[in-house]
Amino acid sequence: MTDQTPTEDSIDFGYAQVPRGEKVARVGAVFDSVAGKYDLMNDLMSFGVHRLWKHFTVQLSAVRAGERVLDLAGGTGDLSAAMAKRVGPEGLVVLSDINGSMLKRGRDRLVDRGVVGNLVCAQINAETLPFADASFDCVTIGFGLRNVTDKQAALAEMQRVLTPGGRALILEFSKPQVPGLSRLYDAYSFNVLPTLGKIVADDEASYRYLAESIRMHPDQDTLRGMMESAGFARCAYYNLTGGIVAVHRGYKV
């Protein structure tokens, strides 16, 4: 880990500290690089378990027919596709991502799967959402919050665009809670993942950044506190796979 000390003008990019204004471009370069192999790598890295994590998130959202859903950092569209089925033709899902390469791949993938009519795409920054207050019944962000420069600003924006009674769901890597799991998880993350990235995606550095960014992300209780600071009520989290992943949920009152 770097011994650089964060300042008001710097932010973490994995273990490194970079000028705050550079993080968006650096994260963008990572996802430009991995977009083509993103879905394959997700299956390989998680042994397919990411599908169960996403299914749990959708179930926990309790999204109903006719509702409006904003999927932030939606990538290749797994959550959006599932939400579109639940909201039906009278509802709406906005698949969004700050990265154009990922958004294009997600849009093309969903069109190929026939997910059209109640789904639109938007390239937006989660920190400054271009939507009016109380525009959505549900906001999701899956494996994206750790890449946001100002996480607190993004949480505040999520809360702002929700209708009263609306809910936000954050699916993200977190801190293992099972004794002994952290050591195994670290060995896998810092040895297997970069090697897998090099072989499959020809990009070892991006998957080393993935492992580092997970360690720099707030743990379960810290993130719950951040949600409460952003105005969310009834905040709770659900550990999956021993806490390697957690789903946080909060409501707008």
Between CA 16 and CA 148 the distance in angstroms is 15
Q: 47 pLDDT exceeds 90?
A: yes
Tokens (6 digits) for 177: 């809670």
Q: 2 pLDDT exceeds 70?
A: no
- Mean pLDDT value of segment 213-224: 97
- Mean pLDDT value of segment 8-27: 94
**Per-residue pLDDT at 93:** 98
pLDDT in tens, 142-159: 999 999 999 999 999 999
Q: 131 pLDDT exceeds 80?
A: yes
**Per-residue pLDDT at 8:** 73
pLDDT in tens, 50-62: 999 999 999 999 9
**Per-residue pLDDT at 116:** 82
Percent above pLDDT 90 for the chain = 94
Q: How is the chain split into domains, by residue range?
A: 47-175+223-251
Are 99 and 76 a contacting pair, CB within 8 Å? no
**Per-residue pLDDT at 1:** 42
**Per-residue pLDDT at 7:** 61
**Per-residue pLDDT at 89:** 95
Q: Where does 47-175+223-251 sit in CATH, by number? A: 3.40.50.150
Do the bridges between strand 245-251 and strand 233-240 make them parallel or antiparallel, or are there none, so unpaired? antiparallel
What residues contact 169, with CB distance under 8 A and at least 6 apart? Answer: 57, 60, 61, 138, 139, 140, 141, 247, 248, 249
